Amino acid sequence: MIRALDLANLPDADVVALALQGRDAAHRELIRRYERPVFSLVFRMVRDRELAEDLTQDTFVKVLSHLDRYRSDFKFSSWLFKIANNVAIDHLRRRQLDTVSMDGSPHAMTAEAVESTRFDVADVAENALEEIEAKELGSAIERAIASLRPEYRSCIMLRHVEGRSYEEIASTLDLPLGTVKTYIHRARHELRRALEHTRE
Amino acid sequence: MNHRHLLPNEIDLLVDGEAGFGVAPLRAHILECPDCRERLEDARIVVDALEALPHFVPDARLADRVMAQVPVFVPAHVAARDSVRRWLPQSAAARIAALVAAGSGALALTLGMIWVALQGDLFTFATGMLGERVRLAVVGAARDLAVAMLGDAALAALQGLGAMGAALLFLSFLLAAAGTIAGLRRLALAGRRA
């Protein structure tokens, strides 16, 4: 019988191999290792805890149901984050929630249109769950991240929260290296501008 | 001396802590240029804030919900190996003790079988004598039962019929018993329907 302590010391590729042998404990070890970073990435993408739970669950179900497709010459975490990012992006595209702009829609052309699409946090009736979300995601940097395009958001999260290299991010998101660098540069620029506004 | 300010991607190189050829002049410029130093500092504030972001914790039942939807297939050879392992002791000392005990048991059984084989005649005689005693006991009990049921005269007549006659008589008895049981059952069923 495989002990939990033994599994915790194994590299991802070995745990995956054990999972492919039908070891329930190995499946759970993979979930245990990555549930927090995957959930964090998805939560910051969709900004809804309950939805993020569902999408995280979908991500792990997809990954663990198709472990036979994993190739050990790539990092398991990169493959997992790729699927998580795709799940979140697909949802955002379906729901057309590309940005949460609290200063009005970026497509608004007149002052009236801006005013009508402004999102005022104070006016939204918050239940207990929304209050928790607001606290979790209420810091200036979190609100600034929310205003980024999803592609920028993915790149900046993988770079600075998950500590991935530019090359890993390019591999994970199937983007050219130059595009990743551009996205991260633009994301940093936008975040800097957003944080300057909050400091003023 | 190069008076141009650093380009945005050069600021990014310094923020990312890149090393190598071409970075040293950038660091030298930072030491001399307050504007670029301020831009670098602003960029570092953003990166520091990002790197300090916490991981959020999902619901504790996430793993259970995921595993409820994931089909876990155990290959046959793995299942067989697990079944055998379940019977094996966990510690090395216990496994050695189990091996010694099993080996001793196997050796004793083998020696016992060899002894029995060597004592073949004695064994055959013992079982034969025992079998004869059992046969005599069964025949005696049957005779006593027949005398109690039929009486000495009937028993003597039965013995005169020989084996074939006795078999026919017994078969008749079985048929009569079966017919009686069937008839009683029919009566009971008819009584229930009524």
Give the pLDDT band of residue B159 (cuts 50, 70, 90): confident
- Written in H, E and C, the secondary structure of chain B is CCCCCCCHHHHHHHHCCCCCCCHHHHHHHHHHCHHHHHHHHHHHHHHHHHHCCCCCCCCCCHHHHHHCCCCCCCCHHHHHHHHHHHHCCCCHHHHHHHHHHHHHHHHHHHHHHHHHHHCHHHHHHHHHHHHHHHHHHHHHHHHHHHHHHHHHHHHHHHHHHHHHHHHHHHHHHHHHHHHHHHHHHHHHHHHHHC
Give the pLDDT band of residue A93 (cuts 50, 70, 90): confident
Q: Which domain holds residue B19?
A: 8-51
Q: How far apart are CA A39 and CA B133, in angstroms?
A: 83
* B 122-181: CB under 8 A from A: none
B12 domain residue, yes or no: yes
Give the pLDDT band of residue A122 (cuts 50, 70, 90): very low
Task: Sketch the domain layout of chain A as residue ranges.
Answer: 1-98, 100-200
* pLDDT on residue B148: 85
Give the pLDDT band of residue A114 (cuts 50, 70, 90): low
B146 domain residue, yes or no: no
% of chain A beyond a pLDDT of 90: 54
| Res B86 pLDDT > 50 | yes
pLDDT: which is higher, A200 or A65: A65
Answer positive or negative: Cα dihedral of B119, B121, B126, B131.
Answer: positive
Measured between CA atoms, the residue of chain A closest to residue B71 is A65
* pLDDT on residue B40: 92
| Residue A194 C-alpha, separation from nearest chain B C-alpha, in angstroms | 10
B125 domain residue, yes or no: no
pLDDT: which is higher, B186 or A135: B186
| Architecture category of domain A100-200 in CATH | Orthogonal Bundle (1.10)
% of chain A beyond a pLDDT of 70: 74
Give Cα separations from A38 to A42, B149, B185 (angstroms). Answer: 6, 89, 74
* Contact of A77 with A92, CB cutoff 8 Å: no
| Mean pLDDT, rounded, for B98-108 | 91
Cβ neighbours of B62 in A, within 8 Å: 31, 35, 39, 53, 56-57, 60
Give Cα separations from A25 to A4, A37, A153, B65, B87 (angstroms). Answer: 7, 20, 33, 15, 20
| Res A130 pLDDT > 70 | no
| Res A126 pLDDT > 50 | no
Put simply, the answer to whether A24 touches B12 (Cβ < 8 Å) is no
Give the pLDDT band of residue B1 (cuts 50, 70, 90): very low
Arithmetic mean of pLDDT over chain B: 85
Domain count, chain B: 1
| Mean pLDDT, rounded, for A135-140 | 67
* Segment B111-138, tens digit of pLDDT: 988 887 888 777 787 788 888 888 888 8
| Residue B80 C-alpha, separation from nearest chain A C-alpha, in angstroms | 12
Give the pLDDT band of residue A11 (cuts 50, 70, 90): very high
| Mean pLDDT, rounded, for A59-69 | 94
* pLDDT on residue A129: 56
As a CATH number, domain A1-98 is: 1.10.1740.10
| Mean pLDDT, rounded, for B79-90 | 79
B13 domain residue, yes or no: yes
Q: Is B84 on the interface with A (CB under 8 A)?
A: no
* B 43-62: CB under 8 A from A: 43, 45-47, 49-51, 53-59, 62
Q: Confirm whether A1-98 and A100-200 share one CATH topology.
A: no
| Res B75 pLDDT > 80 | no
Arithmetic mean of pLDDT over chain A: 82
Chain center to CA of A27: 21
| Res A39 pLDDT > 70 | yes
The ipTM value here is 0.73
Nearest CB partner across the interface for A60, out of B56, B66, B85: B66
